[in-house]
Every structure is written in C-alpha cells, then in structure tokens.
C-alpha cells in the first residue's frame, strides 16, 4: 500500500506493507535516530513525537501514522557550523545534553530528548519530578539519569530565557567556599542551581600533582556528543547496503538435546529466502566466544553450529532472507528432530557421578585445570600464607554461605553485526563489539579465512558492559555472507538478549574468616561454586577475578598484614543454563556481596565499629597485592606493590556526605514514624508506622587492566592547521574513552581537545588494542596515547627551535596551540605544520606507540547506602547512594562521574530486583523488560559521587580505573543497611520484599 507520512514538516510518499511498523518505515526512510531497543516498547528507544506526544514507533503501524505530524530527532535543531552556510545550531535540549554529560553511549539520547521536548512544549517550567516522569519511559542503562535530568532542567531554563548559573571549572568547597589552590581543594560545581537530586559535577578532592594540567581534569564534553545528540547514523545498524539480507537464528526449545535430523528444504523453498545453514553446512571448528587475548584462557567448547544443543536458546540453524519477516517465517519451516537428553540445572550436582555430561565432543580443547567429563570448566586453588595456622590463631571463626544470581548486561542497543565482501574480496565485519581485534583473530579459523582477509569496523556502540566482549553473533552474519555473497545484517531481539546472550555468573560463595577479639583478621577463606552455564566462556577468568579482587582487600593487621593468610578455591561448572560471561565488574560484584556482608556480620558480632574494623584490616600503600604472587588469570604471576590507596579519605568523605555519624546507631533516626507521629504526618511510605530506616557501607577495590598482557596502541599525525588525527584501537562503548584519550593527547600537545580528531576503532586503520574491558582503556591505551603524543611533541619542538633560532628545543613548551620559547617568543602549531608539510625539510610529524603495563593499580571506594524498609511488606526503598572513589587522577569529571552514577544504578538493580529465573525445564521466565526490571528515571534514589584523587605513579597522568568499581559495593551496602534497619541478614541477592519479609518472620 502507498501512504504519505509527514515527518519533521516534510511529506514522504512510501510504499509499505500493511504490517510494517512505523519504526521500520522511519528507519527505511533514513531517520536513523529512531532506535530499536526491544519488541514491546519498554526500552523507549523507539520514542518519537506524534502530534507532539511521545509514542513508541515500534508499537504502531506505519499506516496508522498517516495524517499525523511526526517529529524525529532529525527534526530538532540544525547542524552547527556548516562552513559558509550559517545555521541556528542545535536545539537547547541537544546543547544541554552535550554540556551536562547526559550522553554516554547515546543510544537512548534521541528518545530522551524527544520525550523531554514534549514535556517542555506543554510545561516550560517543570519540576525535577516532572522531568523524571517525562523521561521515565526511556530506559538508559548508562547514566543513572542524573545528568539527563540536569540537562532537561538546564534546557528549560535556557528556553525560558533565564541566564544559567554556570560555575563550571571554579573549584571551591561548596560548604566553606575555600578558593582554588588551597589543598585539599574541592570541586563541587553545578551548571544550574536547581534542586535536582544530583549535581552535574562531582565533588573532587584534588591531588596537588594536577595543578599544571590544562586539559586533563577538565569537564570537557564528549568528542562524539554532537552527532549522538543529533541522532546521526553512527551505530552498526544505521547503514543499509544494496542487496542486504536479514539474518535470523533458530534457537533450541530444549535445554539438552541431540539433533537427530534437520530438514531445511521447506524453508529454503520459501520465496525471499537466500540461505539456510545447519550444522551440516559449515565447517566444524571448535572455538571460544570469549573475546580475550591469545591464548584464550579457557576451554574451547563452542561451534558456530553443532549437532547438540545445551541450553534453551542454543543455536540450531541460520537463515538469511530479503526481509526480517521472511526470515522469521523460514525459521518456522525448518524441521528438526531432537533426541532429548537428561538435563543439569543444579550447579551443586554438576560434578556428582552419574550427572549428565554437557561436553562430550572430541574436539574439546581444555585449558589449565579443566575436566569436561566431570562438567568442570575450570578449577582454581590458591593458598597465600598459612591459612590453617591463621585459623588456629583466631579467637573467633565466622562461616556463612552467600548466593548471587544470574543477571543480564541489558545494554539498550542489542548485539548487532553487518557483514559484506568488499571490492578486494575481503570480509568486512561492521559490528557493535568491545573487542574488534579479538573478533578478527578468533573468527578467522571459524570462517576459514586468514586474518588478513577480515576487516573489522567498530562504529559507535550502544552500551556493552561486557556483553559485547563476546564474539557472539558476528559469525552468524559472516557465514551467511560467505554462503550468499551478499551483505547480511543480524540484530538480536530483546528476547534473544535474555535467552541467547551472556550474563553474570551466578555463584554460591562460602566464607570462613578467623578474627582476633580486637578485630584483627588472622585468616580469610573463600570457596566458590560458579555456574558457567552451557559454555565455558570467561569461566576461569571471571571467577578468578572474584577472589583475586575481593579477597585482596582485607589482609589483616600487625604481623598478619606482613604475611596475609588467604585461601581462594573455586570450581566453575557447566549446567544447561544460558551461558555466563563477562559483565561489568567481571566477577568482583559477586565477591564483594559475600565479603562485605560477611565483614559487617563480624564487626557487629564483635561489637566493633564497621568502618574502623574494615580500615584496620584493609590493604595499605606500599604493601604487595597479596594475589600478585599467586595468580594472573591463568598466566605467570608477578609480584606487585600497591602504591596508592585513598580508602581512608573515601570513608571520611562518604561518611560526611551521607551523614553517617548522625544516623548509624541512632535509634530515633531508624524510626521515622515516631518522629513523624510527633509531627502528625504519617502518610508517606517513608513515615508509615511500619517503616524503619537503615544505613550501610561496603568497601571495595577493583583492578586496572591485566598486567603483562593488556596492550593498547595509538598513532597520531599532525595536520596542516595544527590539529591532529588520533587513531586508537581502544573501543569507546559509551564510556567516554575517546574523549579522555583526546584530552591526554591535547595536554601533551598543548592544544584544545577539539583539535584532537579521534578515530576508533578499525582493524585495518588503527593500531592493535586488546579492547574495552578490565577497566583498562584510560590507563593502558592512555599511556600509549601519551607516548605517541610525546614523540610528536618532540618533533614539533625541534622544528620550533629551528624556526625560532634556539639551540635547545627542550626548553620549549607547548600551550594554547603554540610552541613557546623561554623568552616568551612563540610560533603557532599551524606555522609549524605548514613548515613541516610544505616548506623546508619536509616531514609528516607523526608517531605511533604501544603500552603494556607491568602493574594493575587498584581503584578503591567506600560505598554508602541509606534505605527505608517496610516491616509489614518487606519492601525496601533505597533512599540514597553515596560513593567516594579513589580512581587516581580524574581525567574528565563529567564522564567519570557519569560512569559512577550509571554503575551505581546497574548495581542497584543487582541489589534489589534484577534476576534471570528459569523453570524446571530450563525455560527462561525472563524474556523482556517487563519481567526484568531496570531502574527508570522516576524510580531513582539520590546519587552522590565523590572522587578522592591519588596520583598513581605508574601512569604519566596518575590515573587508575573507574568504569567497573561502581558495580561492586551497592548490593552489600544495601544488604548491610537492611540489617541495620530491621536486624535481618539476607545472604542471597537480590533482596526482594519476599526475602526480607520471610527473614523478618523467622527472626
């Protein structure tokens, strides 16, 4: 049928099927700012305005939109600065989203902006609650909503014509007004003096070493923010190639079965079907889907397609067709005869004799200690010191078991890959991946191609959180391109994300801790039974990290501090569940749930202050990382000294921010109803007679990259105008890493960040980088960028010295786009660039460098939580989260605080509501954002981020990691706050109302 759609004021004639959604039609017409997030409109990524009201374009038919005014993000604002053509520039909402750091991956941004526009069009002066409600239908997995809310309020003020109170960059103590320069200095600024829950910029205890920096440490807008605010076609699925096919996968309905017979003839006969592939059609090559360096530290136990399925959702066949609808139809025509096999879902039974064995294939390649005949994917046995002696010397021994669930990364952009042959018959894989170089290396044997014939392009990524550290779907599209010779797009549905992707490892964790009566830990032991699901991707390394990071924090005190007694054992077993894998924090959130719940119980049992008890036993600067002599992800360990630990200051700052001293142990504060009843105001949740308040803490540490393994590379070249191209293999998955890498290069080269043009990442054009994981990009790739920039800077100074007639180039400094001599004479970088490229002794000023770190300096944090518990229902409301973090020097407070806010929000879901559940046949209960609840803007507690800077000496700018540590402490801090409120221990997260209610009944 032919219809007319009026989009952004312009009429479009369109031939459409009656069943085509408005989302599909808009994207087909080139409006790529409208995104697919899920099938049910629950992510809100497909939000557009219809007659001024926000609607889900994926939930209505294109034909239904005829006669209505459609507005997409492309209809807002204008592209700023188009050469001689002057424009009005961006819409105030787009501008505000850029300036406040409200854009991380940017996948949800067009929808958030449109939802906000609808609000501001009808209410120019909204309250914060109204803003939160207006954007509540658009899920964001990156930001924690603090900055988007600020952005909308800021835009509203600008649109009302008000002058915003902008105190950006002025570093003062908000309380004392202490000016910049006095140490310690606090930055506590905001763009608007609104009453929003969270300020745009965090409080920072600034390290004195940063005082000469011009660009590092400044809240620069993200380098990719403008295009993301405009909804430009920056993501994998935003391009469409001529002759492109659409791929779909037939997934197993059984948890464990052999494929006895498979007949694809009826599917192949369907008009519009280009290819159907089963296990009989492609080479049988064993590999691991875990995107890791060579050799993969885990078993090789996967095939693109196999004659056996091991979980509900496992692959059975691939289809490529002219449309997604035809591909779906073809799936239903594939006839499969299964031999149903016995199943294994209980990890505690995995190694018992007679249990069904998942991996009996001859091609299985083990790694380290691993026994598929016992369903053992990996085993870890680490003894540090003399644990038995430590227990013998303890006055008390505390033992308990803790359980953590399977949870999903839930990035709003699903996994998506586009493959095609280029004109040189090389296979191009355009994919939303965190590990482009690993994709190329790992898929080469699977596809039967040499590495050099594969070209991987990583465009913008709509979030990854470890889920895209998996070589998960690229092979599907690639096999189909090889089979058909045509471009193939394969995008997961949301249901596939929940049923056929990866997740956080669920674990049972047993703790045993020996303690003297004065609170000295004499020995600490952890045993983990980890469920890797059907495949062993990341099996060894995730669980190894669980113990390595969480058990390293508490070494004991006195003589025990000099020689800690720590035991960490783990068995990682196969079951017929959806495979586990990498998820932000990489095993550490599981560990700290156990360790920090356990420490709280010990402190309370011994009558010790929970903060002092922890600090007494926590690792200190100058001490060895206890695991560095015993473990390095299955590789050779190297002893490593920890140089910087900002934990005490984190505690001091966090305590003050949450008001610990006035609340902890304060019975009157715990009983708000008593206070409220005196005020005759017992009407809200917080002050119902049944409510009690509680406060809790957790201390955590993480790591920064994998020492002696993780490598980053960078190349820089100078352009005619004194700007620079920075090419990095590092993968910005929404974290802002492109921006902080640009800031570091800009600092060295003496130019503004906007003069560094970043390109990441592409296996043909950018240097190798191991990818975005292990919180390593700022530290590892950043060091490579600094090295390359320093080499360029040296060439610039040599040429400047010649032009200025100086004998010693080393006295020249680069600043403000100039090379400046000690006597004040200066020459611009543009003049130097023109001289080097065109005038004399011509050369391209350029450099490349790479970096591997010999250390993994841990960031530290104190996480505080305040909760209200309803004792009648067990409902828990988290009122406030405060995180004080030592992540070394903060290169960009805007992006770094966004990481902490977003991480705390994901961790909040881990604490109270997120869980993937299955029935007794392994069928997943959770397939959408209805049953899997992630926090909305209007459900958020107050968030506060504080950075306590320390200068990490192993990095040129003193940085440590920031991206993962916010995942670690929220759940145990909430668990401890519930204990504080109602005196019950919930040892299994998430702490649902049911668990709290039952525990209170048992009390």
Residues that bind ligand FES (CB under 6 A): 103-108, 140-143, 412, 463, 734
Cis peptide before 23 (omega within 30 of 0): no
Between 106 and 299, name the residue whose CB sits nearer to ligand FES: 106
**Minimum CB–partner distance for residue 410 and ligand FES (Å):** 10
CA-CA distance, 251 to 263, in Å (whole number)?
Answer: 15
CA-CA distance, 894 to 736, in Å (whole number)?
Answer: 9
CA-CA distance, 606 to 451, in Å (whole number)?
Answer: 60
Between 107 and 935, name the residue whose CB sits nearer to ligand FES: 107
**Minimum CB–partner distance for residue 217 and ligand FES (Å):** 23
Between 735 and 836, name the residue whose CB sits nearer to ligand FES: 735
**Minimum CB–partner distance for residue 37 and ligand FES (Å):** 9
**Minimum CB–partner distance for residue 102 and ligand FES (Å):** 8
CA-CA distance, 585 to 571, in Å (whole number)?
Answer: 19
Between 106 and 536, name the residue whose CB sits nearer to ligand FES: 106
Between 723 and 895, name the residue whose CB sits nearer to ligand FES: 895
Find all residues with CB under 8 Å of 548, minimum gap 6, and list them: 568, 627, 631, 703
**Minimum CB–partner distance for residue 412 and ligand FES (Å):** 4
CA-CA distance, 291 to 471, in Å (whole number)?
Answer: 6
The answer to whether 968 and 552 are in contact (CB under 8 A) is no
Between 106 and 975, name the residue whose CB sits nearer to ligand FES: 106
Between 3 and 23, name the residue whose CB sits nearer to ligand FES: 23
- Listed in order, strand segments (DSSP E) in 871-929 are 876-886
Between 506 and 734, name the residue whose CB sits nearer to ligand FES: 734
**Minimum CB–partner distance for residue 888 and ligand FES (Å):** 24
**Minimum CB–partner distance for residue 84 and ligand FES (Å):** 34
Between 108 and 821, name the residue whose CB sits nearer to ligand FES: 108
DSSP letter, residue 281: T
**Minimum CB–partner distance for residue 946 and ligand FES (Å):** 22
Closest by alpha carbon to 433, among 454, 457, 450, 403?
A: 457
**Minimum CB–partner distance for residue 411 and ligand FES (Å):** 7
Between 146 and 890, name the residue whose CB sits nearer to ligand FES: 146
The answer to whether 415 and 463 are in contact (CB under 8 A) is no
**Minimum CB–partner distance for residue 739 and ligand FES (Å):** 14
Residue 603, token pair as written in the block: 């402190």
Cis peptide before 763 (omega within 30 of 0): no
CA-CA distance, 117 to 99, in Å (whole number)?
Answer: 17
**Minimum CB–partner distance for residue 140 and ligand FES (Å):** 3
Segments in 21-108 forming alpha helices (H): 22-28, 92-99
Query: In which order are the strands placed within the sheet that holds 818-820?
Result: 813-815, 818-820, 826-828
**Minimum CB–partner distance for residue 898 and ligand FES (Å):** 9
Find all residues with CB under 8 Å of 45, minimum gap 6, and list them: 35, 36, 37, 38, 107, 108, 111, 138, 139, 412, 413
**Minimum CB–partner distance for residue 303 and ligand FES (Å):** 33
Closest by alpha carbon to 900, among 584, 610, 660?
A: 584
Find all residues with CB under 8 Å of 855, minimum gap 6, and list them: 640, 641, 707, 954
Find all residues with CB under 8 Å of 118, minimum gap 6, and list them: 49, 52, 53, 54, 134
The answer to whether 342 and 356 are in contact (CB under 8 A) is yes
Between 202 and 533, name the residue whose CB sits nearer to ligand FES: 202
**Minimum CB–partner distance for residue 145 and ligand FES (Å):** 9
Between 192 and 937, name the residue whose CB sits nearer to ligand FES: 937
Residue 925, token pair as written in the block: 């209960």
Which string of DSSP letters, residue by residue, matches 566-619? Answer: EEEEEEEEE-SSPPP---TTTTHHHHHHHHHHHHHHHHHHTT--HHHHHHHHB-
Between 405 and 463, name the residue whose CB sits nearer to ligand FES: 463
Between 734 and 972, name the residue whose CB sits nearer to ligand FES: 734
Residue 503, token pair as written in the block: 């997740």
Strand pairing category for 427-431 and 454-457: parallel
DSSP letter, residue 181: T
């Amino acid at each position: 049928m032919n219809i007319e759609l009026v989009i952004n004021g312009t009429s479009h004639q369109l031939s459409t099927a009656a069943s085509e959604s408005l989302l599909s039609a808009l994207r087909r017409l080139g409006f790529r700012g409208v995104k697919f997030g899920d099938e049910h409109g629950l992510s809100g990524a497909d939000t557009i305005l219809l007659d001024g009201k926000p609607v889900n374009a994926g939930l209505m038919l294109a034909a239904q939109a005829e006669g209505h005014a459609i507005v997409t993000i492309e209809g807002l604002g204008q592209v700023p600065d188009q050469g001689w053509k002057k424009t009005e520039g961006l819409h105030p909402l787009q501008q505000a989203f850029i300036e406040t750091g409200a854009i991380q991956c940017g996948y949800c941004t067009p929808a958030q902006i449109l939802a906000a526009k609808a609000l501001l069009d009808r209410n120019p002066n909204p309250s914060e609650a109204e803003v939160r409600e207006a954007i509540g239908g658009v899920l964001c997995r990156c930001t924690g909503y603090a900055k988007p809310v600020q952005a909308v309020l800021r835009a509203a003020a600008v649109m009302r014509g008000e002058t915003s109170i902008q105190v950006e960059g002025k570093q003062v103590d908000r309380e004392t007004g202490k000016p910049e320069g006095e140490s310690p200095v606090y930055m506590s600024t905001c763009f608007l003096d609104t009453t929003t829950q969270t300020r745009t910029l965090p409080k920072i205890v600034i390290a004195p070493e940063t005082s000469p920096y011009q660009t590092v440490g400044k809240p620069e807008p993200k380098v990719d923010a403008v295009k993301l605010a405009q909804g430009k076609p920056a993501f994998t699925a935003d391009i469409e190639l001529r002759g492109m096919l659409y791929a779909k996968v037939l997934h197993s309905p059984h948890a464990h079965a052999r494929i006895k017979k498979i007949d694809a003839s009826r599917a192949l006969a369907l008009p519009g079907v280009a290819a159907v592939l089963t296990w009989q059609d492609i080479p049988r090559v064993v590999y691991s889907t875990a995107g890791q360096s060579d050799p993969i530290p885990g078993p090789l136990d996967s095939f693109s397609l196999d004659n056996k399925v091991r979980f509900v959702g496992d692959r059975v066949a691939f289809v490529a067709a002219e449309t997604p609808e035809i591909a779906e139809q073809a799936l239903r025509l594939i006839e499969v005869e299964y031999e149903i096999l016995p199943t294994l879902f209980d990890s505690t039974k995995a190694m018992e004799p007679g249990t069904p064995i998942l991996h009996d294939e001859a091609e299985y390649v083990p790694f380290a200690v691993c026994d598929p005949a016992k369903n053992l994917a990996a085993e870890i046995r680490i003894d540090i010191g003399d644990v038995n002696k430590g227990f013998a010397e303890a006055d008390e021994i505390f033992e308990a078991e803790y359980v953590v669930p399977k949870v999903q990364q839930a990035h709003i952009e699903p996994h998506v890959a586009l493959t095609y042959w280029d004109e040189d018959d090389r296979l191009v894989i355009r994919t939303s991946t965190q590990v482009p170089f690993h994709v190329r290396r790992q898929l080469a044997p699977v596809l039967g191609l040499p590495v050099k014939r594969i070209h991987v392009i990583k465009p913008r990524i709509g979030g990854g959180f470890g889920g895209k550290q998996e070589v998960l779907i690229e092979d599907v599209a690639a096999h189909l391109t090889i089979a058909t010779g045509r471009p193939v797009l394969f995008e997961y549905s949301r249901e596939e994300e929940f049923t056929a992707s990866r997740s956080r490892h669920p674990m049972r964790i047993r703790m045993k801790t020996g303690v003297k009566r004065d609170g000295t830990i004499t020995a600490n032991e952890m045993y983990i039974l980890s469920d890797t699901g059907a495949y062993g991707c990341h099996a060894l390394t995730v669980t190894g990290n669980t113990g390595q990071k969480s058990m390293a924090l508490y070494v004991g005190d006195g003589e025990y501090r000099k020689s800690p007694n720590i035991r960490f054992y783990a068995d990682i077993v196969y079951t017929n569940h959806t495979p586990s894998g990498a998820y932000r924090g990489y095993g550490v959130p599981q560990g700290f749930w156990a360790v920090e719940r356990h420490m709280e119980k010990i402190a309370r049992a011994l009558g010790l202050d929970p903060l002092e008890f922890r600090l007494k036993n926590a690792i200190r600067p100058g001490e060895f990382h206890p695991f560095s002599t015993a473990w390095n992800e299955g590789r050779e360990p190297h002893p490593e000294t920890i140089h910087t630990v900002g934990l005490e200051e984190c505690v001091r700052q966090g305590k003050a921010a949450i008001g610990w001293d006035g609340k902890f142990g304060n019975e009157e504060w715990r009983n708000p109803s008593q206070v409220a009843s005196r005020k005759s105001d017992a009407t809200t949740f917080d002050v119902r007679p049944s409510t009690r308040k509680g406060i809790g803490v957790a201390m955590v540490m993480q790591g920064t990259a994998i020492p002696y393994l993780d490598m980053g590379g960078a190349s820089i070249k100078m352009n005619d105008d004194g700007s620079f191209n920075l090419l990095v293999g590092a993968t910005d998955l929404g974290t802002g890493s492109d921006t902080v890498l640009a800031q570091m290069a800009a600092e060295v080269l003496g130019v503004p960040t906007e003069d560094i043009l970043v390109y990441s990442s592409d296996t043909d054009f950018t240097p190798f980088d191991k990818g975005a994981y292990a919180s390593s990009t700022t530290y590892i790739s950043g060091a490579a960028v600094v090295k390359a920039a320093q080499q360029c800077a040296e060439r610039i100074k040599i040429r400047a010295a010649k032009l200025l007639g100086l004998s010693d180039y080393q006295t020249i400094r680069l600043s403000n786009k100039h090379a400046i001599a000690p006597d004040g004479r200066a020459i611009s970088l543009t003049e130097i660039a023109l001289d080097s490229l065109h005038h004399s002794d011509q050369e391209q000023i350029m450099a490349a460098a790479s970096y591997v770190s010999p250390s993994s300096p841990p960031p530290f944090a104190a996480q505080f939580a305040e909760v209200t518990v309803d004792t009648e229902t067990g409902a828990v409301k988290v009122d406030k989260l405060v995180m004080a973090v030592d992540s070394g020097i903060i290169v960009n407070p805007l992006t770094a605080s966004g990481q902490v806010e977003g991480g705390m929000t994901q961790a909040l879901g881990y604490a109270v509501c997120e869980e993937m559940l299955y029935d007794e046949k392994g069928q997943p209960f959770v397939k959408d954002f209805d049953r899997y609840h992630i926090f909305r803007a209007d459900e958020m507690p107050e968030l506060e981020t504080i950075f306590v800077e320390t200068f990490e000496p192993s990095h040129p700018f003193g940085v440590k990691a920031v991206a993962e540590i916010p995942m670690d402490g929220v759940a145990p801090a909430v668990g401890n706050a519930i204990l504080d409120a109602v005196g019950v221990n919930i040892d299994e997260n998430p702490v649902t109302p049911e668990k709290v209610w039952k525990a209170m009944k048992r009390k």
